[in-house]
């Protein structure tokens, strides 16, 4: 067997140009494939993180019917007990209560349907990053009388700026139309242009006074210690507080949850397609090598090299090519992915389009070590399977005819 190893290794380098061409194609295939996969993972994680950090939170609690029409009368039941439970729950990192109504925002330059969200600024800072997304003005610390902060897209649509006034019209619990005036304190810009176009923040106490209900709370946003405990906490809340409804981020935005679930499969499907494409090149190269050495193989079989060893020799030659190419391709991928995982890729050229999907303009690549190991094993398996066709072709050679071949 040792002799077969030596012959197979030497045969790889007998035609250096051909072997190096196959090795280079495998290196480039793995490099480009892994980097593309890492970008896909980075895009998906960036979109999910942006949604959670901007507005989604890990868990949201509402009255069971509130999200159907945003009726201001459908407040959270037994808020004090629920708040006490969340404070005692160790897996809950932070939470914030919100008062929400649907309204029509208007200025002299136009109007737009919006969600008016009343928040406690200090609590909200612990669960969202809106305060870090300010592009103009300040975050609830300069204007004292009914301040508001709005998204950049909405500000552009209504031609609003800091210290300008905005009027909001809504229907109260008695069915009467009410109109309030707010003063713009700041403008924020998140990764989602849709969110920026449709949401206005104001202080919760101000909105509760307008609603004549100092205890009106329509939503609680919760950030957990990690994603693994989200479903468990949501289930506990639904069990203990049956008059309310707790939903995880994946239930509120099912498209994000579904994308997260299928991403693991997409990685291997994508890499599988690339490796299958590379396998055709390997098969073609090894078949050429077998046919070129037809006379040599016939002579080896004539002097006693059995078919099993001939088969193994061709298989080992193919695997040796993979063992040279795969570590280099994976190492280059790891270095490139690690670099852009720290510094990110600037996609500001297509930033406006990405914002429509809730994705930021800087993407950080990522790929777990488990993915590297799995793809390495997958590469060896595909290479082994590719070697079976040329190895089987070598077994069909007739020694007597092969030694007379030109």
Q: How far apart are CA 223 and CA 61, in angstroms?
A: 12
Q: Smallest Cα–Cα separation from 250: which of 269, 234, 268, 264?
A: 234
Q: Where are the alpha helices (DSSP H) in 183-253?
A: 193-198, 204-210, 230-240, 249-252
With contact defined as beta carbons under 8 Å apart, do 310 and 8 qualify?
no
- Cβ-based neighbours of 29, under 8 Å, separated by 6 or more: 274, 275, 277, 278, 329
Please identify every stretch of the chain with a pLDDT value under 70, giving residue numbers as ranges. Answer: 1, 294-305, 350-358, 397-406
**Where are the extended beta strands (E) located within 155-281?**
165-171, 177-188, 199-203, 219-224, 245-248
pLDDT, position 88: 92
pLDDT, position 345: 85
Domain ranges of the chain: 2-52+257-402, 64-243
> Residue 42 — left, alpha, or beta (φ > 0 → left; ψ -120 to 50 → alpha)?
alpha
Question: Coil, strand or helix: which one is 148?
Answer: strand
Q: How far apart are CA 357 and CA 193, in angstroms?
A: 8
pLDDT, position 306: 72
The tens digit of pLDDT for each residue in 153-162 reads: 999 999 999 9
The tens digit of pLDDT for each residue in 86-144 reads: 999 999 999 999 999 999 999 988 999 999 999 999 999 999 999 999 999 999 988 88
Q: What is the DSSP string of 55-85?
A: II-SEEEE-TTHHHH--TT-PPTTHHHHHHH
Indicate if the alpha-carbon torsion angle 340, 352, 147, 84 is positive or negative. negative
Catalogue the long-range contacts made by 6-13 (C-beta closer than 8 Å, 24 or more residues apart): 7/313, 8/312, 8/313, 8/314, 8/316, 8/317, 8/320, 9/316, 9/320, 11/289, 11/293, 11/313, 11/317, 12/317, 12/320, 12/321, 12/324
pLDDT, position 152: 92
E strand or H helix at 111, and its extent?
A: strand 110-119
pLDDT, position 255: 80
pLDDT, position 397: 67
pLDDT, position 233: 94
pLDDT, position 52: 87
The CB-side HSE value for 233 (13 A sphere, CA atoms) comes to 29
With contact defined as beta carbons under 8 Å apart, do 104 and 158 qualify?
no
Q: How far apart are CA 396 and CA 406, in angstroms?
A: 17
Q: Smallest Cα–Cα separation from 400: which of 317, 283, 286, 303?
A: 303
191 phi, psi to nearest 5 deg:
-75, -15
């Amino acid at each position: 067997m040792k002799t077969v190893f030596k012959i197979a290794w030497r045969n790889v380098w007998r035609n250096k140009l051909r072997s190096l061409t196959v090795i280079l194609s495998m290196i480039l295939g793995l490099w480009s494939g892994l980097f593309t996969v890492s970008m896909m993972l980075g895009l998906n994680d960036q979109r999910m993180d942006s949604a959670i950090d901007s507005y989604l939170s890990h868990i949201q609690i509402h009255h069971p019917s509130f999200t159907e029409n945003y009726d201001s009368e459908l407040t959270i039941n037994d808020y004090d007990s629920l708040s006490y439970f969340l404070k005692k729950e160790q897996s809950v990192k932070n939470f914030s209560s919100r008062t929400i109504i649907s309204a029509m925002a208007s200025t002299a330059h136009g109007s737009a349907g919006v969600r008016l969200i009343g928040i406690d600024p200090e609590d909200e800072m612990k669960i969202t990053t809106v305060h870090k997304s300010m592009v103009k003005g300040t975050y609830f610390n300069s204007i004292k009388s009914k301040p508001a902060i709005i998204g950049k897209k909405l500000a552009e649509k209504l031609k609003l700026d800091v210290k300008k006034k905005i009027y909001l019209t809504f229907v109260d619990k008695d069915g009467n139309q009410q109109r309030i005036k707010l003063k713009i304190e700041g403008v924020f810009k998140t990764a989602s242009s849709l969110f920026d176009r449709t949401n206005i923040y104001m202080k919760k106490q101000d909105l509760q006074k307008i609603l004549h209900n100092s205890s009106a709370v329509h939503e609680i946003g919760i950030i957990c210690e990690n994603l693994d405990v989200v479903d468990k906490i949501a289930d506990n809340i639904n069990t203990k507080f049956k008059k309310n409804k707790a939903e995880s981020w994946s239930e509120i935005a099912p498209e994000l949850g579904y994308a997260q679930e299928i991403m693991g499969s997409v990685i291997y499907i994508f890499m599988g397609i690339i490796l299958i494409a590379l396998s055709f090149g390997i098969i073609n190269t090894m078949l050429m090598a077998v046919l070129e050495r037809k006379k040599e193989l016939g002579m080896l079989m004539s002097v006693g090299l059995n078919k099993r060893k001939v088969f193994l020799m061709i298989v080992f030659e193919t695997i040796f090519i993979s063992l040279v190419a795969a570590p280099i391709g994976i190492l280059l991928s790891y270095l490139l992915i690690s670099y852009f995982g720290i510094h990110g890729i600037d996609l500001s050229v297509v930033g406006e389009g990405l914002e429509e999907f809730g994705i930021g303009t800087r993407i950080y690549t990522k790929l777990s070590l488990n993915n590297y190991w799995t793809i390495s094993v997958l590469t060896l398996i595909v290479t082994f399977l590719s070697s079976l066709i040329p190895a089987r072709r070598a077994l069909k050679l007739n020694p007597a005819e092969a030694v007379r071949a030109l």
